Structure 1
Amino acid sequence: MTQSPVGGASGVSRRPIQIGDRAARVLASELARHGGPKTGLLVGAAAGSATLAAAIDALLPDDRLTVVAASSGSGFGAAAALREHVERQGRWVTDRTRVVESLTEAEPADVVILAEPLAGSADEARAALADLTKLVNAGGVLTVVVPATRLPSGAADEVERQAALYGVGSDLVLRNVPPVRVHRLRHTPAHHAAAHNLLPALRPSSVPLTRGMNIDSNGVAAAGIALGLAALAKAARPKSKLWMVPALAAAPVAAFFRDPQRDVPEDTSAVVAASDGKVLGVERMHDKRFGDMEFLRIAVFLSVLDVHVNRAPVAGKVVDYFVEDGGYAAAMKPEAEHNVAAYTLLETAHGPVAVVQRTGLIARRIVQRAPVGSLLAKGERFGLIRFGSRTDVYLPADKAAPTVAPGDRVVGGATVIATWL
């Protein structure tokens, strides 16, 4: 009987790593965001594990899930325990979940999840990933987890190498013991049409404050730095009130990185705003960066009071990303055309769509989190710009009609700024 490719000395970490609920949700996120029908393969699961529970929770009526027992178990006994656990979940789960004893019994799936953290040497990790990749359907995703450590690790280094070549997303889960990093790999290209069947991806580093409001991880870090400076100032000059300056700044700095939940319109003809802000311009134009096509460009200015998380205006596949050098003029002025800007080009059913993140007078840091090859759902978060800026959305001019005008206020991911003809 063929064992799991990550078993024992061939890849599983010798240090105990507990995959908690949050990490399990991240591991199963590709299953959860896929609208189905889909097939999933969970490798290295144990009865009652958080990862198995998250994978089962992601199932829809037309989905199918195959589960391979954890390598720490003993062949038939581990599979029997899994079957018993699945049967206790009820008829609905058992009808959609199949437990097998080894990978040789598994069929290729749209989403393959390795529930056991990879460790060991680079060669061992490479062999394990090669075996798992064979079980991923064309355009499918392989999700793996490694310890989030800066210490030398052959397995983690190999996964990072493959993520640089095939990665379509990576998340650091600090709220795990110990912290882990989850990588999503796509070794064969996906069609852009698949993005229409996806929900916006989970952002585990976005810290929830209330049911509808999160703080982006950049805000948590910035607020932590401000509080750290306050502590240092207090320790250095106990009698001075200087420490209050960074201490009082921590809350508004964190608020700048607020990340609210948004209800994305379900209308397939709707194009949504890429950011909050005020519409600066709606115009038809040519841009040499994208060839001879005529585009409808909708530019939105973000003040320091606006939400600065950027979202995909349409569902599509990221086919290019590049940054152009320039200045830092105020984002509401015409000179901002020549500011530093990041261009994300999407392939869609209606033709090429571009989202441009432009810096401003104060905003000089662009964050883009969607690698080339990744699929973005409409309204999905893909980056942010720090402290006042501008976003431009380019749509094929002959296929889209604007629904906003200069001066209008828009809400990222929710306001319809154009419709497909």
Structure 2
Amino acid sequence: MTQSPAVPTPAPQGPVRLGERAARTLTAELARHHGSKTALLVGAQADTAVLDAAISALLPGDLLTVVPAEPGDTTRLRAHIAAYGPWVADRIQIVNDITDAQPAEIVLAALPLTGTVDETRATLAQLDAQLVKGGVLAVSVPAMPGKTEGADTELDRQAALFGVGTDLVVLNQPPLRIHRLRYTPADVSTAARLAPVYRPSSVPITRTMHIDSNGVAAAGIALGLAALAKLTRPKSRLWLVPALAAAPVAAFFRDPERDLPDDESAVVAAADGRVLSVERLTDERFGDGEFLRIAVFLSVLDVHVNRSPVAGKVVDYFVADGGFAAAMRPAAEHNVAAYTVLETERGTVVVAQRTGLIARRIVQRAPVGSLLARGERIGLIRFGSRTDVYLPAEAADPLVGPGDRVIGGASVIARWS
């Protein structure tokens, strides 16, 4: 039997499978779209986590087209899908070859890409041909050296040009890197129909509380230093210092789930903290007209994960040089800051992540071209800091004032007029 030309071939070392966590990450773009949508799953196999994750993401009105990894897999696929019942079976069609499928809004490669650079480029071109304008292609690649023949290099290049999101799934054998690619611009109105995307960068602790991967890494470093101190100086209690610091360091990077307000006209806080100021100003970097700026100070005890205050499309991102004044002081306005510029249906919205006296590291995870749902995580700032939200002054009415406490992704700081 011959394999479909668009289906990636496993590397000589053996097949690479996607576990449940990796499958959920690969199909995240499918799961976050509200309303009817079309999707294409290429290289599907029965009884796999990827197929089950894609089926679980279906909503009424959706249509999922499935291309089997091998022509002989069709019978098993039909039986597997039929077991879900008629509600699912009516929303899925199986075709023998990718050329028989209609273009879709979301295309998923069920098998990781492991071939050469040229093979990977050809595969991506075939998958891209099945995307409608503004559609998203989700593919995976092993994240360990020696597991591909060049696919990882080519995907890194493609992600730099067309990437709208990349996630590393460590809990897979082997670890995988999931890339989401968009080759043509998306309509900004699509963002309003999205839910915050699932990201494996947060490690679940409980059902409602996660720890960002930065926290896991920081806690691991602290425990490593404790082990090294214990090994080199076994009679000393110096090892207790980094060992006891591991828990509070991890807690600093906590990433709780948040319930978004139902009001679609509500603008939510980009961060937890205390409102420092609410003012109107102009800033030629973001365009003509006045902006309403709401500045929030984050103490070291606040959650430091930042979220998008509105639904929109990332059209620019830049970092402005500056100092490291205490974040609660007016001079912090001139600190080092990262600006994420969003195009929305109401105008330009900007989120500024500002460093503070202690904070010296800004993490931004929303590439230019990506669509953000309201309340979606866009990054974090390490230790005390400040986050500013700029809104079109004539289109938004503030609902908070200096001294108010706000919760990122949950508190309403303004409302569209």
TM value normalised by structure 2:
0.98
Instruction: Tell me how many residue pairs correspond in the alignment.
Output: 415
Separation of aligned partners in 1, 2:49 and 2:2 = 25
Instruction: Describe the superposition over 1:93-145 as per-residue Cα deviations: whole angstroms up to 9, x where unpaired.
Output: 11000011111111111100001110111000000000000001111100000
List, as ranges, runs of 4+ consecutive aligned residues in structure 1 with deviation greater than 6 Å.
none
Residue 27 of structure 1 corresponds to 26
Aligned letter for 1:279?
V
Separation of aligned partners in 1, 2:246 and 2:145 = 28
Aligned letter for 2:285?
R
Residue 343 of structure 2 corresponds to 347
Kindly indicate whether the alpha-carbon contact (under 8 Å) linking 1:11 and 1:155 is maintained by their aligned counterparts in 2: no
User: For structure 1, which runs of at least 5 residues remain unmatched after alignment?
Assistant: none
Separation of aligned partners in 2, 1:291 and 1:100 = 49
Instruction: Describe the superposition over 1:244-284 as per-residue Cα deviations: whole angstroms up to 9, x where unpaired.
Output: 00000000000000000000112111000000000000000
Query: Which runs of structure 2 are paired with 1:14-413 in the superposition (5 Å)?
Result: 14=12, 15-70=14-69, 73=70, 75=71, 77-151=72-146, 153-413=149-409
Residue 5 of structure 2 corresponds to 5
Aligned letter for 1:59?
L
Aligned letter for 2:300?
V
Separation of aligned partners in 2, 1:119 and 1:3 = 15
Separation of aligned partners in 1, 2:365 and 2:212 = 13
Separation of aligned partners in 2, 1:232 and 1:202 = 36
% identical aligned pairs: 68
Aligned letter for 1:170?
T
Shift of 1:291: 2.9
Kindly indicate whether the alpha-carbon contact (under 8 Å) linking 2:365 and 2:379 is maintained by their aligned counterparts in 1: yes
Kindly indicate whether the alpha-carbon contact (under 8 Å) linking 1:352 and 1:396 is maintained by their aligned counterparts in 2: yes
SS in 1 for 2:214: helix
Shift of 1:23: 0.6
Separation of aligned partners in 2, 1:4 and 1:103 = 7
SS in 2 for 1:104: helix
The alignment yields a C-alpha RMSD, in angstroms, of: 1.2
Separation of aligned partners in 2, 1:92 and 1:382 = 35
Instruction: Describe the superposition over 1:6-41 as per-residue Cα deviations: whole angstroms up to 9, x where unpaired.
Output: 44xx64323221211111101110000011210010
Separation of aligned partners in 2, 1:264 and 1:150 = 40
Shift of 1:205: 2.0
TM value normalised by structure 1:
0.97
Instruction: Describe the superposition over 1:65-99 as per-residue Cα deviations: whole angstroms up to 9, x where unpaired.
Output: 000001xx3x2x21121112111211001100001
Kindly indicate whether the alpha-carbon contact (under 8 Å) linking 2:188 and 2:313 is maintained by their aligned counterparts in 1: yes
